Structure 1
């Protein structure tokens, strides 16, 4: 039996290539490399991992170890300074105007919105802050004694991992997959769009576009 809580509509928005014309995991390494923080081979490794992501064959543990090396021994406050600089210098100008307009309209209408991304929560925080999302689900970082260890924590927020984390969100805030909307762009999003009640393929990658055409999902193009 469905309850009012399970019927609550939640609007989940993916971040990279859905809200912004950017891959933040790659641009973050570029940003750190330019500041002399990341290693000299960081860009080649970042590109390799990005291609694995596009091909939906990313080794999540290996990637997170690479992605979080600069976090080791730092506090949230220290890394947030860099996150906000990265957003201001790189990300802000790459927000799709149509996406921002739609998100702000949904907020004005009082809808429950959640930013959800495989990008770690520190890098994603600045976009969440700028657009005013009340909620965010992202890949989390391990913290011991208020400092990052350079390791990931919990479920990696990609594919089936996103579905699991969305269900955790529903347990706290209400809603269900059947009552929710999801906006996403990648091959890894197919498994999510297959389960939500209101799927939206945004600037879809080839595999997602094929699934959208097969399932008659709405396709949105932001430019």
Structure 2
């Protein structure tokens, strides 16, 4: 019997916070960007995300613009510090136990996230989740261009990215479960056999109640 997919949103699901927004705050705290201008724009984008009105391409390119001035090694060093100060403390208390439950069941663990692959790659590695589907960043000759290399992995775009990944990897959606906190993920939650709402926002909580979906907290 083929292994089933266990799909996980990242921000505010496995993490008790948002790594994309956290990256912006980290950049401000480290003095790597102009605090007033960058911080204010970062907060506006995050508010748009929570409201379901985010222009994902604009936000991704806003976040990626700062990467162009650094070498790959510099970014690696910066990200290591980001992991220690921001991400690791953000991991929800019950996340590791949930992941281990799925490993023991023989499931294939996949993070599927709107946050870009620069930010989320090391997070997936730290959580020992072998597969990552994220918003793709463009990197040429070892340097980030500040642009995306494809469409965002956001809202219904998560379905497109997942289908392409499954085709490449030889998996199907049959029996899959998906954990998410956000109404932005309703398209994929509606698609899978086992949708699970995790510390859900108000809109997702209401839909889960109507649909009879499980609701759990990892915090």
The reply to whether TM is greater than 0.5 is: yes
Q: How far apart, CA to CA, are the structure 1 residues paired with 2:108 and 2:77?
A: 28
* Offset, 1:38: 1.6
* Offset, 1:76: 4.0
> Which has a greater percent of helix?
2
* Offset, 1:73: 4.5
Q: How far apart, CA to CA, are the structure 2 residues paired with 1:76 and 1:178?
A: 39
Matches within 5 A, 1:2-151: 8-40=3-35, 41-151=37-147
Q: Deviations over 1:147-200 (max 9, x none)?
A: 111111212011111111111111122333342111001111111110111111
Match of 2:166 in 1: 170
Output the TM-score relative to the length of structure 2: 0.93
Match of 2:148 in 1: 152
Q: How far apart, CA to CA, are the structure 1 residues paired with 2:45 and 2:24?
A: 12
SS of residue matched to 1:68: helix
Q: How far apart, CA to CA, are the structure 1 residues paired with 2:79 and 2:104?
A: 27
Output the TM-score relative to the length of structure 1: 0.92
Q: Note if contact 2:56-2:154 (Cα within 8 Å) is conserved in structure 1.
A: no
SS of residue matched to 1:183: strand
Deviates more, 1:57-66 or 1:169-178: 169-178
Q: Deviations over 1:12-40 (max 9, x none)?
A: 11111101111111111111111111223
Any gaps of 5 or more consecutive residues in structure 2? none
Q: How far apart, CA to CA, are the structure 2 residues paired with 1:146 and 1:54?
A: 33
Any gaps of 5 or more consecutive residues in structure 1? none
Q: Note if contact 1:79-1:122 (Cα within 8 Å) is conserved in structure 2.
A: no
